[in-house]
Amino acid sequence: MDTQQMQMEQMGQFRITVWEEENFQGKHCEFMQECRNIMERDFRKIRSIKVENGVFIGYEYPEFQGQQFILEKGDYPRWEAWSGNSGYRTEHLLSFRPIKCAKHSDSKVTLYECKDLTGRKFELCNDYPSLQAMGWCSKEVASMKVNSGAWVAYQFPGYRGYQYILERDRHEGEYRNYNEYGTQAHSHQVQSIRRIQQ
Amino acid sequence: MDTQQMQMEQMGQFRITVWEEENFQGKHCEFMQECRNIMERDFRKIRSIKVENGVFIGYEYPEFQGQQFILEKGDYPRWEAWSGNSGYRTEHLLSFRPIKCAKHSDSKVTLYECKDLTGRKFELCNDYPSLQAMGWCSKEVASMKVNSGAWVAYQFPGYRGYQYILERDRHEGEYRNYNEYGTQAHSHQVQSIRRIQQ
């Protein structure tokens, strides 16, 4: 963690409150940093969330495992608000952490046709609700290199389906195969991608 | 319809193929313009879609009624790929039409705090995965005026939940109350918004 990030954490630049019941009811707790397992705080579940500052990733399981959910500033009154995955319904969100390297105005990612950052490539600095409309001929991306900032890639066009958060400061920004996109990823299917705004 | 739009339709600038079964199987049909009711083509349902050119809106019911689904270029192998509404599962998509006024580089919308385009306002020209992060204090938008282009507004942050497509060339771009956002809209809740790319 660099000095700027430490200062942001100390200044409350990351703040999230989670509730055990829908619509911000019941037991709740505020966090200004990561939480590896909400059950260790005697929560049985999380059913509503407010992100007050910064951006977080939520995970389906403890220790940052399973489906990923990008959590930007705003109100998430029910689990449907963060899931966005109609087909793979999961009501679990058991761990979360702040995303510290998002830099909206300076984000760059390179997509590759083949794994291990090989084959045809395409460099992006902007949001693309449809990679095919941008000229990428396939519905798959086999590997990706984040050169700067943080990104969220999605299984389907229009920012739908599985969410994969890709950060410059994880794996040195290298995602060399689909199983590095996320622990639940089971294909290379990626049809939209966007920058994360801090 | 102006001359440019007619030319685009004639040149196949809008092309969508729909299938009766998942994964592009079974009976299918290609369209280069709107379809008011797929059941009149002897389809019982739609279960997969490819958008080959342009951008379309899909609707839950015939005659452009019910939930709206933005359909950008790409592959939609199952209904979950276009729905994105985990909480209000609908597997219906029975009518669709092209969006003709999308102009990504020249899109402007004004959000209003109160209905009938009154109260505090905010003018946007860019994509916002979190309106609250941008400085909008509420999780609601009471009315909107599309000054140019076409937009998709969402119930929740991060482009999730109900989708409302807003176009300059419908209602003269004026959406004066939430029930004009869509026939299924039942609140002013809008927490993210983005431009539609042609």
Q: Give the single-character DSSP code of A118.
A: E
The pLDDT score that the predictor gives to residue B86 is: 61
pLDDT digit string, tens, across residues A153-196: 999 999 999 999 999 999 899 999 999 998 777 889 999 999 99
What residues of chain B lie within 8 A of the CB of A85, using their CB? 80, 86
Task: In whole angstroms, give the CA distance from residue A32 to residue A40.
Answer: 17
**A81/B133 Cβ within 8 A:** no
Question: Do the two domains B3-98 and B108-195 of this chain adopt the same fold?
Answer: yes
Domain spans, chain B: 3-98, 108-195
Q: Does domain B3-98 have CATH number 2.40.40.20?
A: no
Q: Which fold has domain B108-195?
A: Gamma-B Crystallin; domain 1 (2.60.20)
Instruction: Report which of A119, A109, A191, A196 is spatially closest to residue A155, judged by C-alpha positions.
Output: A191
The residue written with tokens 């989670």 in the block is A18
**A155/B73 Cβ within 8 A:** no
B127, B160, B191 member nearest A127 (Cβ): B127
Please tell me whether residue B77 adopts helix, strand or coil conformation. Answer: coil
Residue at A94: amino acid letter: L
Whether the CB-CB separation of B132 and B139 falls below 8 Å is answered with yes
Q: Is A24 on the interface with B (CB under 8 A)?
A: no
Q: Is A140 on the interface with B (CB under 8 A)?
A: no
pLDDT digit string, tens, across residues A102-146: 887 889 999 999 999 999 999 999 999 999 998 998 999 999 999
Task: With a cut of 80, say whether residue A22 has pLDDT above it.
Answer: yes
What residues of chain B lie within 8 A of the CB of A152, using their CB? 158
Q: Is A156 on the interface with B (CB under 8 A)?
A: yes
Instruction: Report which of B87, B51, B56, B78 is spatially closest to residue B69, judged by C-alpha positions.
Output: B56
Please tell me whether residue B139 adopts helix, strand or coil conformation. Answer: coil
pLDDT digit string, tens, across residues A57-100: 999 999 999 999 999 999 999 998 998 766 666 778 999 999 99
What residues of chain A lie within 8 A of the CB of B156, using their CB? 74-76, 80-82
